[in-house]
């Protein structure tokens, strides 16, 4: 009887040991499934532009030149609007907001990008990566909102000029600014929270990008990312889709009103106030849609094309906007000439 009990205990111990070994093997298999990645990695490594690593140092030269020109041009616009009281009207206040956003947007991406291209400093902490992601996507949303506000300003100024001063009061401008900022911050924060709280395991910590972009980080996860993808699409259509629809409707109505004016000079004068904004609107949204669709649906397109388009989407608008407004807007053009050729 005693021998039987000992045999039972031995068998039970053997079963427990085998079960423990199976659990350990299963855990090891799970870790192998995640390709040896760390649980909640403390840092990522940004590789820059995949496929063009050997020429990244040269790509950084035009990028840095675009950044410097953009910062100087937008800073000049801010100074001119600040110190010229005749420009303290809604059209130029929105332009100042756009210039400040452009400086902030390009500054979020380029210093780290040049660190990768020139100094081989790819590492970025997990939290810093999420912060950069939130800032970049928030400033993109803010810029889109400002372009919408500028379109509405032109719509009221041309289609209902007698009410323009009443509608676009100082209080209303403040509300628009706060609304654009809050919309961007509130809609982007959940996408960061979904990454921080729901994605624990990552197949790799190497990011095939030159900055922390939402989908580039999400695709590294070794878990179900459908919710992240769906929310990313929702934010894109809720911001860019909403804004582009209302901007288009505004300009359709503007064109109808302008072409109904009896005098050719009046039509030209009304249309000339919109030319700069139309150019900025087209280059911002065309780049946005090219970047958005190639990143999500262009699986046959080489990765370096995706990354270059994403980089240009963030760097070209801040670079071109002050040039477009400096050339196409007479008041800005005259004040720029006055700054550089004051003595003459």
The DSSP letter of residue 53 is: G
- Burial class from Cβ neighbours inside 10 Å (0-12, 13-18, 19+) for residue 159 reads middle
The span from the CA of 332 to the CA of 330, in Å, is: 6
Higher pLDDT pick, 295 / 314: 314
| 14, 88, 115, 257 from 166: Cα distances, Å | 86, 15, 49, 20
The whole-number pLDDT of residue 12 equals 53
The whole-number pLDDT of residue 167 equals 92
Given pLDDT bands bounded at 50, 70 and 90, which one contains residue 101? very high
The token pair at 136 is 């970049």
Higher pLDDT pick, 176 / 20: 176
Which residues have CB under 8 Å from 236's CB, separation 6+? 292
Q: Phi and psi for 221 in degrees, rounded to 5?
A: -70, 145
262: left (phi over 0), alpha (psi -120 to 50) or beta: alpha
Residue with the two structure tokens 């947007």: 105
The span from the CA of 158 to the CA of 96, in Å, is: 21
The token pair at 235 is 């934010």
Higher pLDDT pick, 335 / 124: 124
The whole-number pLDDT of residue 258 equals 85
The token pair at 11 is 């068998």
Residue with the two structure tokens 């600040």: 82
The whole-number pLDDT of residue 191 equals 93
pLDDT of 29 higher than 90: no
pTM for the whole thing?
0.85
The whole-number pLDDT of residue 34 equals 42
**What does pLDDT average to over the chain?**
84
Sheet of 123-125: strands edge to edge?
A: 123-125, 43-46, 206-207
| CA nearest neighbour of 248 among 277, 207, 219 | 277
pLDDT in tens, 247-263: 999 999 998 888 887 77
The two beta strands, 123-125 and 43-46, are antiparallel
């Amino acid at each position: 009887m005693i021998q039987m009990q000992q045999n039972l205990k031995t068998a039970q111990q053997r079963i427990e040991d085998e079960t423990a070994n199976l659990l350990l093997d299963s855990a090891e298999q799970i870790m192998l499934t995640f390709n040896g990645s760390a649980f909640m990695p403390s840092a990522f490594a940004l590789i820059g532009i995949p496929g063009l690593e050997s020429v990244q140092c040269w790509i950084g030269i035009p990028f840095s030149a675009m950044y410097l020109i953009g910062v100087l041009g937008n800073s000049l616009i801010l100074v001119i609007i600040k110190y010229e009281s005749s420009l303290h009207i809604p059209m130029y206040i929105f332009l100042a907001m756009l210039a400040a956003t452009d400086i902030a947007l390009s500054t979020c991406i380029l210093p780290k990008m040049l660190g990768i291209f020139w100094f081989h400093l790819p590492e970025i902490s997990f939290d810093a990566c999420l912060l950069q992601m939130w800032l970049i996507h928030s400033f993109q949303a803010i810029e889109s909102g400002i372009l919408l506000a500028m379109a509405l300003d032109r719509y009221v100024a041309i289609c209902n000029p007698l009410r323009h001063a009443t509608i676009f009061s100082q209080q209303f401008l403040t509300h628009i600014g706060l609304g654009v900022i809050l919309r961007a911050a509130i809609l982007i924060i959940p996408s960061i929270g979904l990454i921080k709280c729901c994605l624990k395991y990552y197949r790799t910590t190497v990011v095939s990008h030159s900055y922390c972009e939402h989908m580039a980080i999400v695709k590294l996860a070794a878990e179900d990312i459908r919710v992240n993808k769906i929310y990313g699409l929702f934010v894109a259509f809720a911001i860019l889709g909403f804004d582009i629809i209302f901007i288009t409707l505004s300009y359709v109505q503007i064109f109808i009103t302008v072409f109904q004016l009896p005098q050719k000079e009046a039509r030209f004068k009304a249309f000339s106030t919109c030319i700069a904004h139309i150019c900025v609107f087209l280059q911002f949204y065309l780049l946005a849609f090219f970047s958005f669709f190639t990143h999500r649906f262009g699986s046959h397109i080489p990765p370096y094309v995706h990354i270059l388009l994403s980089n240009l989407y963030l760097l070209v608008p801040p670079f071109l906007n002050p040039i477009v407004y400096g050339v196409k807007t007479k008041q800005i053009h005259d004040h720029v000439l006055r700054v550089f050729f004051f003595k003459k």
